Amino acid sequence: MHAGERFPDGPETADEGSLLQPKDNPETRPAARRWRAVAPWVAGGLLLFAYFLRISFSERVDSDGANSALQAWDLVHGHLLMHGWIFGDATFYTFELPLIGIVELLFGMGNVAAHVSSALVYLIVTACAVAVASTGSRGPARVVRCMVVVAVLAMPLLATHTVFTLLEEPDHIGTSMFLLVTFLLIDRVPERRFTAPLVGLILCAGQLSDATVRYVAVPAVVLVCGYRALAGRKLRSGDTALVVAAVVSVPLKSALQAAMRHFGGFVMVPPKARLASPRLWPEHASWTWLDVRLLFGSVHEPGTKLGIIGAALGLICLLAAVFGLARVTWTWRRASRAEQLLLVAIVFNIVTYLVSVMPFPNVPREVAAVLPCGAVLAARALVPARITAMPRAVAAVGATALIALLPLAVAATRPPVKPEQVPLAAWLEAHGLTYGLAGYWDASIVTMQSGNQVQIRAVSLRTKFELYYWETNALWYDPSRYDATFVLTGDHGLYPPAHFEHYLGKPAETYRVANWVILVYRTNLLRHLTPMPGPS
């Protein structure tokens, strides 16, 4: 039997069923049989979530994640258009923010909610990848494919750098959900009447959240479905409808965002969707390869669990994904829609990243979708659709389960990181200092860790004293609404106390709390700000 061999769907054999669940008694109720089939998957999902959450607590949340928490808080409290908000080059408006907001309603704003929502995002991405990988498989083969996906997604968590990318604030990994759900729909129900409209809506929502969907998912759907429509010589087909839906999703997103802006919705900094000079492409290629290796956990860094062995396991996962890519390329005409879509999406993500102005060494977030897409192709290439021999099935399930759980168990041994801003926020609140200013990395994180009881807003001192025009809310700087009476700074930050004193003069009082310096003034500091023009 060849790796990745496809089998027609059919009833499971007795051996396959017996590995996953006991034989059904004819008198057993259908609901009980369904629950008995679903229960192992629910239990596995809960176990994965527990691991992801524990590993997430081993890394800190910074002001990027804190700003997402503040945005989510506004969203679930009725500010659907996010009036006043100035987003960065990705809004995460249609997936991560609603999820974070729901978690905050349950746990309140703070460190716990930030980690729970991050773990949930990664769990949902994992579940979507498992759903695509298991399509067409049966019995123990389905379980083995699931374990391979989990192993590939778990191995990078051995490195602290990758934990921060995958399991902390929204950092593009959640965008993979839009890609995987779209590809799953196209693969399983390509000819149904609802598929094309639903795909168009999903792609539109994804583009509103992250431009990666526009430059990766939309071209993948257009090319693959267009190819299939032409190859089948059927222009009136489900594939043609999918091409139209993908193309229409682009102006639909633009129209929707323009309408929201017309009615007072958020604005955003335009994404850096520009081509770099061709002379930079060779250097970008080396950086892109480094970032992909980092994403799969195949680079040995200080603090990597299992040391060189962990990096070697990450390299094996990367090679498995490359093998999956090669297999789909070699068997293109016989490959499934999902496999073709995944291959094209990976290629587009890497190539558009490489030729753009975005590449930067040790920053793999812009190619984050390559990891789950590669995990799916690895699982489908390495594991056949059926495993009929009982000894082979038991061995495969046991071995892959061990490989999947090993990095999770090891990564979970890192001690939790205690947020250092919590005692600072408590001190500020106790001294009646509840509205102030700071540099970007000292501002919103204190606000979040205080549960929004102490509100600190980011400012920039690059050329003048002005609001920080990135992931902020312009309404926060209105002196008729708020009274900012202190500055949070320190020698560790971008702007030491002398920088603020240059613009604001000597403070009335100065306090030092741990690594921070608090400058207290008797005037509303918002009146000293120079308004900064917004993006065009």
**96-100, 174-178, 467-471, 484-488: segment of lowest average pLDDT:** 467-471
Residue 446 pLDDT exceeds 50: yes
CA neighbor of 46 nearest in space, from 58, 38, 34: 38
Global pTM value: 0.92
Give the whole-angstrom CA distance, residue 327 versus residue 336.
12
Note the pLDDT of residue 533: 56
Residue 102 pLDDT exceeds 50: yes
- Look up residue 190 and give its two tokens: 């390509």
Give the whole-angstrom CA distance, residue 472 versus residue 206.
22
Residue 3: pLDDT band by 50, 70, 90 thresholds?
very low
Q: Rounded mean pLDDT of 399-424?
A: 94
| Averaged pLDDT score across all residues of the chain | 91
Residues 6 or more apart whose Cβ sits within 8 Å of residue 33: 24
Give the whole-angstrom CA distance, residue 308 versus residue 315.
10
Pair 158, 304: CB distance under 8 Å: yes
Longest Cα–Cα distance in the chain: 84
Report the C-alpha dihedral over residues 229, 235, 236, 242, rounded to 10 degrees: 50
Residue 45 pLDDT exceeds 90: yes
Note the pLDDT of residue 26: 54
CA neighbor of 337 nearest in space, from 232, 210, 215, 250: 232
Q: Rounded mean pLDDT of 283-299?
A: 95
Residue 62: pLDDT band by 50, 70, 90 thresholds?
very high
Question: Amino acid identity, residue 507?
Answer: P
Interior angle at CA 362, CA 306 and CA 298, nearest 5: 35
Q: Rounded mean pLDDT of 495-501?
A: 91
Q: Rounded mean pLDDT of 42-46?
A: 93
Tracing tokens 């059926």 back to the chain, one arrives at: 386
Note the pLDDT of residue 447: 97
